[in-house]
A and B are shown apart, each in its own frame.
Chain A
Amino acid sequence: MIFQSILFKEEEGFNPNQQEPEFFEDLNLNLIVDEITKTKEAYDLKPFFYYSLKNIENITYRQKILKDIEQKDVFGALKEFESAMNYIRGGLQKTEKLSCKYQKERWFLDSVDLYCASVVKLHSSLSESSLNSEGLLSFKAYLESYIASDKFKEMLEHTKVLRQGLDEVKYTLFIKENKIRVENYKNEKDYGKTILEVFERFRQFDVEDFKAEFHNLEYANHIEIEILKCVAQLNRALFDDLERYCSTYENFMDTHIKKFDREVQFYLSYLEYIKPLEDLQLRFCYPQTVQSKDDIQNQEGFDMALGYKLAKEDRAVVSNDFYLKGKERIIIVTGPNQGGKTTFARAFGQIHFLASLGLKVPGSKAKLLLFDNIFTHFEKEESIQTLIGKLENDLVRIKDILQKATDRSIIIMNEIFSSTSLHDALFLAQQVLNEIIKIDSLCVFVTFLDALTELSDKIVSMTSTVRDDDVSLRTYKIKRRQADGIAYAISIAKKHGLTYECLVDRLKRD
């Protein structure tokens, strides 16, 4: 197979101008994607993150690629390639403004040199690692044929010869008053070394250099350019060859490789985003995506946007399980406020969405629905509308959702009707739930209405409990209760590893 894209095995309806899905904000997916793509704007990655795959084959294609990239050596190789390509693009852009042709040509040469080296390096790194994914294997095969092509080989050789020639150029400047004489270097001795030798006997230990750092101004000054012209005269043949080289290899970058460089960022940026979470021992897994709703589950999942924020602040992240078996379709979440209900609902949606991108998702084990759409309706407290106007708008919106939803959709409703009277709210919620039951969508329904859980056997109830903020403190308290009076001192000694047995064990070191 000829390599086409590292993101799609089969053509789908992907649109390069894909817009942000409507549910993104409710599920805080916008925060996640913004953060993932923050430092990668030049690659224009967002459309990829907005597009749910429809085709299980494509999901598998991506999952396998991501698994490969997760290997340390593959990840490292791709990052190295990324930074080289970035450097090349930046360098070429800058040199467009240079006036001295000897300078421009050198920048060009070095860019080609780095490009060739990076392509070769990437290929050899990929060859050394154990790849299993169709995507990366066929990309590797593409690289192999590219590197073996005469065109590439010639370019590589010519670059090498020129680089070597230029690296060997060494000249001297004799400066006196307002004159500079430029000549080839003739093995004159390094005077700094002589000085150091004379005073070497006083050296007690190495001391740090006290050298001025000369920051090259962006562009060379006219004296430097004059000197460079003289150096070019001293090495005429070399510089003539450099000129020929530049016109020969004007378009040196391969279009497939260019495209790969962009698309592979989808995986790299995601892995970079989840790294701090994985470092905190939070679990991620490759979900099984299924068409049937008989057995949907996720263990140890969490809200990734919240997890990312907490991880940054060094705070603990709580994970949760969910599953729906047989007839079960709807999870009704009730319980005290500030108990993590909304977070749970968001996590449910996020995990499903991320699975549809072909990515690994929060959780230790997951079996998730390949949905056709996600619909969300989250109560917004800060609404300035009148209550009646608001209720009406809510209902319009809900009706719209119920019309569009199918038996393969996911609906997430958060605290709807909470500003309505209890009697009304109960009635409305019952109606909505009955509709959802009829459509047979998957649904998470967060509410303060306990009674709703009895409505149907398609409904399962989950409740939040108020947790202590500091879990470790609570655990500690339990332990403290276990210690009783008489053994108290010994138990403290034991805690510090200071009983006879503990000490004998600790001191088994020499």
Chain B
Amino acid sequence: MKVFLMYKDRDFNLDSPLCELSENTAYDLELDTIFKAMSEEDEFFYKVSKKAVLESLVDVDTILYRQDILKDCIKNEDIVKKLYEIAVESIEFEKKAYFWFFNKYPESVLHSSVRLMEMFTETLNNLKNLAVENKDKFSSEGFKRFFEMVETELSDEYFALIKKHLKNLEFRGGILISAELGSGNRGKNYILRELKEENRSLVERIFSKRKDSYLITIHERDEAGAKALGELRNRGINSVANAVFKSAKHILNFFEILKTEVAFYLAAINLYKKLQSLNEQICFPVPLKKETRRLVFEGLYDVCLALTLNKKVVDNSLDTKDKSISLFIITGANHGGKSTFLRSVGLAKLMMQCGMFVAASSFSSNINSSIFTHYKRKEDVEMESGKFDEEMRRMSLIVDKLKKDSLILFNESFASTNEIEGSEVSKQIVSALMEYNTEMFFVTHMYKFAGDFYERGLNNVMFLRAERKDDGSRTYKIEEGKPLKTSHGKDIYLKVFK
């Protein structure tokens, strides 16, 4: 019984390590804001959201698979919540039972495991009923498969079989253990065996004299003997206690995975509702193969900014048409919305690639094999020389992990040395990465770098600029436009010092 609500053919693994650079990405794009909105203070939701968003999918099929499931969830929110509660309730049982597993003494492991199994039987029954009652309300491939599976696997006959075995495990008729001779001729490989019917009869008959059979009776005052017998019993039960324990664990793991995978969709619904309340648009994006270069969107806005300001924010539109752009160089006024724009692109890509909706009225783009960020770090207090070294070090780590068709978002990178040197280094890096099919967005003040690229007139480079009206005020809109020689720092200076 596999959950498979995140992938068609495998489980979503909450604990596998992320790429070590994903913490940088999360930091640079301020993903914490989104994770918080998704989790609504629930630590588990936070963890699931973070993992799912940062572990980008790299195939279009799975993205669409999740989109469909998410659409089902938005439509049937209450039923999905019930499903989640069944999983949570089952896991709680184990937590309570956990106190019984404080030692590995087989008798107590067996007892606790059987108790746990009895409780699981109930929640499994609830799960089955939920499936039978609601399966028709779901249309996604993922949920249809899930509900069908639950209905078939958890038949009435199966529940009866479970009941029979749980009763057998009380061992009313005594136990039969097999053993072999180990080192020093002491018994080893104690294994509990199934009792034949004849053994279930009266004690007197069982122990009546017969051929090739020897009898040991422990005297009632032989305390050491009774203790030794108890230990022998435990050795015998050990293997079967382990089997019941493992079986209970299997069921528990099923519920754990169910809980994790459903949590992602419930977290997405949280964000969805939050954005709706701000009157913001959302849409399900159209993902394209990673080898293509295409970006077209309308009304794209920065989710983090909207969530932080708690209101509707400025949006942008763009269409690369048939140009196959692989480098976007973004220049223009300080505080003109460059960083916000860069973040909105990064967030849209990440949200699309985890199967969620996107913060725009329409969005379509190629997916990327991975998404990196290289941002100027403001908090660096080292000497200038150390700062540039640190920037280089971070860049080198990205190159280590880089695969073809990755996305890198640069925000005022390599500017911690003078402009001539910074431009030269930027040019070399960007040129080499373009040859490696890397998609890049580069926000920069370095006119030498941006201008030189503009002069080269490459047809896979697009120049975007933060707009400024003639009166010097800002629209915070980003439009196509060539780099201009002056930055607008003077404006801000004047504004501050007037």
Q: A182-B214, A182-B216, A192-B242 are in contact. Are A490 and B425 (CB under 8 A)?
A: yes
Q: Which residues of B contact A196 (CB under 8 A)?
A: 243, 246-247
B1–A175 CB distance below 8 A: no
What 6 pairs between A and B have smallest CB-CB spacing?
A176-B174, A199-B247, A503-B432, A188-B193, A489-B421, A192-B243
Q: Which residues of B contact A476 (CB under 8 A)?
A: none
A169–B212 CB distance below 8 A: no
B109–A221 CB distance below 8 A: no
Closest to A188 in B: B193
CB-defined A-B contacts under 8 Å, sample of 7: A173-B176, A174-B174, A179-B216, A196-B246, A488-B417, A489-B424, A507-B399
B181 an interface residue at 8 Å Cβ cutoff?
yes
B199 an interface residue at 8 Å Cβ cutoff?
yes
The residue from B178, B186, B250, B433 contacting A503, defined by CB atoms under 8 A apart: B433
B220–A178 CB distance below 8 A: yes
Total interface residues on A, using CB and 8 Å?
80
Q: Which residues of B contact A489 (CB under 8 A)?
A: 388, 417, 421-422, 424-425
A228–B186 CB distance below 8 A: yes
B175, B207, B213, B432 pick with most chain A CB within 10 angstroms: B432
B105 an interface residue at 8 Å Cβ cutoff?
yes
**B residues 399-413 in Cβ contact with A at 8 Å:** 399, 402-404
Q: Which residues of A contact B393 (CB under 8 A)?
A: 496
- State A192–B241 Cα separation when bound (angstroms): 8
A207–B253 CB distance below 8 A: yes
B203–A179 CB distance below 8 A: yes
Q: Which residues of B contact A203 (CB under 8 A)?
A: 250, 253
B179–A172 CB distance below 8 A: yes
A207–B212 CB distance below 8 A: no
**A residues 164-221 in Cβ contact with B at 8 Å:** 166-167, 169-185, 188-196, 198-205, 207, 209-214, 216, 220-221
The residue from A201, A204, A230, A506 contacting B216, defined by CB atoms under 8 A apart: A230
Q: A178-B217, A204-B257 are in contact. Are A498 and B186 (CB under 8 A)?
A: no
- State A498–B228 Cα separation when bound (angstroms): 71
**In angstroms, how far is the closest chain A Cβ from the Cβ of B75?**
28
The residue from A190, A202, A231 contacting B251, defined by CB atoms under 8 A apart: A202
B185–A102 CB distance below 8 A: yes
- State A234–B181 Cα separation when bound (angstroms): 13
The residue from B238, B253, B396 contacting A497, defined by CB atoms under 8 A apart: B396
B218–A198 CB distance below 8 A: no
**A residues 438-493 in Cβ contact with B at 8 Å:** 488-490, 492-493
**A residues 316-366 in Cβ contact with B at 8 Å:** none
Segment of B44-52, B229-237, B475-483 in the binding face: B229-237
Interface string of B436-449 (1 = CB under 8 A from A): 10000000000000
Q: A172-B178, A196-B246, A198-B165 are in contact. Are A178 and B109 (CB under 8 A)?
A: no
Report whether over half of chain B's contact residues are helix, strand or loop; otherwise say mixed: helix
> Could you list 4 further interchain pairs (A-B, Cβ under 8 angstroms) beyond the known A178-B229, A179-B217, A213-B104?
A169-B180, A182-B213, A493-B428, A506-B399
**B residues 199-232 in Cβ contact with A at 8 Å:** 199, 203, 206-207, 212-220, 224-226, 228-229, 231-232
B191 an interface residue at 8 Å Cβ cutoff?
yes
Q: Which residues of B contact A212 (CB under 8 A)?
A: 104-106, 109, 234, 238
B109, B195, B247 pick with most chain A CB within 10 angstroms: B247
Segment of A33-41, A103-111, A280-288, A414-422 in the binding face: A103-111
A180–B229 CB distance below 8 A: yes
B11 an interface residue at 8 Å Cβ cutoff?
yes
- State A492–B393 Cα separation when bound (angstroms): 9
Q: Which residues of B contact A500 (CB under 8 A)?
A: 428-429, 431-432
B218–A224 CB distance below 8 A: no
The residue from A167, A179, A200, A222 contacting B180, defined by CB atoms under 8 A apart: A167
**In angstroms, how far is the closest chain B Cβ from the Cβ of A49?**
36
A176, A227, A234 pick with most chain B CB within 10 angstroms: A176
The residue from B192, B203, B396, B402 contacting A192, defined by CB atoms under 8 A apart: B192
**A residues 220-268 in Cβ contact with B at 8 Å:** 220-224, 226-228, 230-231, 233-234
B162, B176, B243, B421 pick with most chain A CB within 10 angstroms: B243
A504 an interface residue at 8 Å Cβ cutoff?
yes
Closest to B203 in A: A176
**In angstroms, how far is the closest chain A Cβ from the Cβ of B91?**
13
Q: Which residues of A contact B429 (CB under 8 A)?
A: 493, 498, 500, 503
B183–A181 CB distance below 8 A: no
B184, B220, B224 pick with most chain A CB within 10 angstroms: B184
The residue from B109, B213, B233, B422 contacting A210, defined by CB atoms under 8 A apart: B109
**In angstroms, how far is the closest chain B Cβ from the Cβ of A430?**
57
**In angstroms, how far is the closest chain A Cβ from the Cβ of B400?**
8
A495–B247 CB distance below 8 A: no
B291 an interface residue at 8 Å Cβ cutoff?
no
Q: Which residues of B contact A210 (CB under 8 A)?
A: 101, 104, 109, 241-242, 245-246, 249
**In angstroms, how far is the closest chain A Cβ from the Cβ of B412?**
16
A107–B184 CB distance below 8 A: yes
The residue from A173, A185, A223, A233 contacting B225, defined by CB atoms under 8 A apart: A223
Q: Which residues of A contact B97 (CB under 8 A)?
A: none
**In angstroms, how far is the closest chain A Cβ from the Cβ of B193?**
4
- State A222–B222 Cα separation when bound (angstroms): 11
